[in-house]
Chains A and B, each alone.
Chain A
């Protein structure tokens, strides 16, 4: 019984870190640009597909694919921000959301055209594809790797935002755009930069997801984006700390749900969100709206 509980916990932590890797970019973009990016799920999907392709071109070098794949998606993110998103910041919410939704439609179909509508099987990562025995049961090594990668990204993000000069400027622009602009920050360029960086994070999450989820399908971004949204909401919109905590809670809840009440595992996620919103409408670490 105890071993089983430990394994459920571990699976939950891995799942939570996996969601965090996708949600951190979304949170960052929302925190600074105040735009909720539906296309983040599409970037995740593109990241996964690019990594998959590079991986097979470079003779199964997962790490090289993981470096180059997300960079390609960055270029797409740059074009999207520079030529489209930039012109809708001042518009009403429906226009912003629908603009990013338009890109979801476009990318989903482009992926279908480029890689086919069927699903692709994931390749193995050398050194991480096996499993290690924990308390007498096997646990996938790659899940352990994800569990390590999540906090690492969180730490790097925290350090970048709190300890560096660029991070300070980003924080300034996110708390008061006009004031930052008045003291000489080039806000439009900064927004582009943050968006591209957020895109990179989403695509990186996609690349890391390739061995984790096992299957690549053209609609894979549409389900993860919902989980990422839930995490962002319960963590407090724009709060990275909250998103990290939210991911952990979400992952644990979903793995316990799958173990004990399998018919309602997805349902639990939303119950969690409803409870959090009743208890703290602004989320764990959000400012009151």
Chain B
């Protein structure tokens, strides 16, 4: 049984409507109560994409639909969507009400497809799972109900083409920047990347080439494993799983070498690219060292993070080794399924051979806050979390970087923390907040 949560930091299954919003020229259509879509877009706060936010069509199920069923209403709204919204793919997500009532939205959508329009159905009842889980369901549904039928039959499989599954759009507030950097890095190795979401993607034309890729890359602790496993089974595509966010020099280089080996790329090309990137990166880290060592006043020496598993592990590896900020108690609040927790603990433990980094898995972030209130460490501290944590940081005298949703205290457009460039940006952001505290 899932327990109570204070200060939720993810949405329900229907939150994966943002996965659709992140695909250029796709439109989510909700068969749900009237408030569901607004809840989701107001949770994430910024970024409506092509047809997100208030543009999202919805059946706005009322009591009558609950009593008499809402399939006719769904058909009507889908027809209206085709006329009104300029989009190439409709993805129907059904919410709690439709699911409890038992509307057969799948049948309605099959009818739409039979009439020649592109449409996909995903059950996304909020009580069934959260948006991190249903992100995979949405992707798999688009693959099964759209990509599979559109893919070029008998197309040559390109060993240099990779499908990338990394940041869950919007749930990772830096998804656009992270995907942009990841694509740049993979291209630096000589690969072509189907990045699939956001302005760097080729939209639906790119999606239909998913079966042509030589392999899949998953950069995520656990969310998205269902996608790459599904593609492995469906198209016999192998996948490489890199289980945390690679931030900065060490971890980005590690990722790139793993990719180069996995894809059997020319190692000398990869090493030349890595060397170029590292020169630029470590030049900045040297300047950082001068700043850190010569600053005469106070800077953060340790930090807590309240974030998802991929960020908690990636931040720890980066901040400890490349910035010198020591991870204290860490809190993973993304509702990581139990089966993945042991591997994540091991990965975090591998961050350092000489210190233990305590970590808690619990989506109830109120408890994380209680623990941080009770913690006491020598020296100036930093808290990396969501907007919920700003007051806590203030009360406990911690510096604060808002880097998780919901994040009303920060405007994010294309900033990313992944990669060499992301690591440098993260350093800038941390010390921007810290230095702003000096008069």
Does B bind A? no
Q: Please list the residues of chain A having a beta carbon within 8 angstroms of any beta carbon in chain B.
A: none
